[in-house]
Amino acid sequence: MQRTSISPRDDWQQKVASAGLLFHSPECEEMDRPYWDESAFYEFSAEEVDTLEAAGHTLQQMCLEAAQHVIDNKRYAELDIPAAAVPAIEWAWENEPPALYGRFDIAYDGSDPPKLLEYNADTPTSFLEAAVIQWAWLEEQFPNADQFNSIHERLIAKWQDIAPYLSKPVYFAGLDNPEDQLTLAYLRDTAQQAGLSTLPILINDVGWNPQREAFVDLEGRQIFSIFKLYPWEMMVAEEFGPAALESYTVMRWIEPIWKMLLSNKGILAILWELFPRHELLLESCFEHSPGTLGSYVRKPLHSREGSNITVVKDGVTVASTGGPYNGPSIVQALAPVAPFADNLRPGASRYPVLGLWMVDQQCCGLGIRESSGLITDNLSSFVPHCFL
């Protein structure tokens, strides 16, 4: 695994924008480079890619075992999951309604075993970048190389697989912001390529009709199948949360509500309990549990996009972020640091986090976000990769 400088393509902004990535260069004083950064790329060997793929499959099985453990032992309160959501979680776990995708965030330096940082199993973004934008970059820059990337084909195949379980049209719902709308547009396109009829809707425009006991769109049409890019822990806290839980068995929500268990940072502590000292894990525990870690990262159970993270090294706080996520947290051992030389700033470093994409429980692709510090957040850049 190595990071290599390269000249960006001519008119790269127009090329990525034409593929759908419109916020490739947001004007933000806090960003020292564009979001889509093709001034460098990461190169892997085939053996390293095999290692990452195997890690994704192993972690998926471990996480499913951890979810079963939470359910069997009723450990919902430790994950700050409300009691009202438990019946729907257990029904979904037993009945296996359609699930689509997720992303493991991994620390890896090409030498030591990959280490799990967290699992975004419910609402991962940067999907178009991983599946399409970096593939187009590869075809133009390195046509004889390869990329760990069968995401697009896997997605279409999965939509075809679950199509019989979905009432048409399938709605695609999320917040009205560029990142979410980009992900929704791409996923909707893959569903249409699989032969499904679809409709877009903002999550705030999904209505509840108490007389019909049904969710409806702005025209009053009942919604039976919906992909929502909106976290379940936020959904159940909304005004329509009780209705979503009470009507869960007559709706097809993607992702299913049991994904609450895996996207919760508390699953990292449970994984360490079940698989202590596993080479793919970092020691983790609930914040209230006794611990001996001198260097660690504190993460609220429901934090997202690098918010409310604290990094402590040898007992001293070395980095932290603000944000809206307060409440119960875990502490996780600090991952081995894998800095790479910054091609644009002599003497500075870039810190990559590898996203392993899971579709239909198969590890099928890699996307890399990197930052100038120890915390990856929504200002971190996306950098393409290849392997020979």
pLDDT at residue 28 in the model: 53
Q: pLDDT value at position 30?
A: 57
pLDDT: which is higher, 178 or 244: 244
Q: What residues pair up with 362 in beta bridges, in sequence order?
A: 359
Mean pLDDT of 104-111: 95
Q: Quickly list H helices, the chain.
A: 12-18, 46-72, 86-95, 127-128, 134-141, 151-162, 178-193, 232-235, 241-246, 259-263, 266-274
**Mean pLDDT across the stretch 51-79?**
98
CA atoms of 251 and 261, how far apart (whole Å): 20
Among candidate residues 229, 231, 233, 209, the one with its CA nearest the CA of residue 221 = 209
Instruction: Summarize the confidence of residues 101-117 as an average pLDDT.
Output: 96
Long-range contacts from 370-373, C-beta under 8 angstroms, 24+ separation: 370/37, 370/340, 372/32, 372/342, 372/345, 372/348, 373/319
User: Residue 27: is its pLDDT beyond 70?
Assistant: no
pLDDT at 38 over 90: yes
Measured distance CA(49)–CA(46) in Å, rounded: 5
Residue 24, pLDDT above cutoff 60: yes
Q: Is the pLDDT of residue 239 over 60?
A: yes
Report whether pLDDT(13) > 80: yes
Banded model confidence at residue 31, pLDDT cuts 50, 70, 90 = low
Mean pLDDT to the nearest integer, 259-278:
97
What three-state secondary structure class fits 339? coil
Cα–Cα nearest to 101, from 164, 22, 191, 192: 191
Q: How far is it, in rounded angstroms, from Cα 49 to Cα 1?
A: 9
The pLDDT value given to residue 129: 97
Q: What is the dihedral of CA 368, 5, 311, 317, to 10 degrees?
A: -170
Confidence of residue 228 (pLDDT cuts 50, 70, 90): very high
Asked if residue 297 lies in contact with residue 310, where contact means CB atoms within 8 angstroms, the answer is yes
Confidence of residue 133 (pLDDT cuts 50, 70, 90): very high
pLDDT at 23 over 90: no
pLDDT in the model for residue 127:
93
Alpha carbon 271 to chain centroid, angstroms: 18
pTM of the model: 0.96
Q: Residue 120 and residue 102: Cα distance in Å, rounded?
A: 6
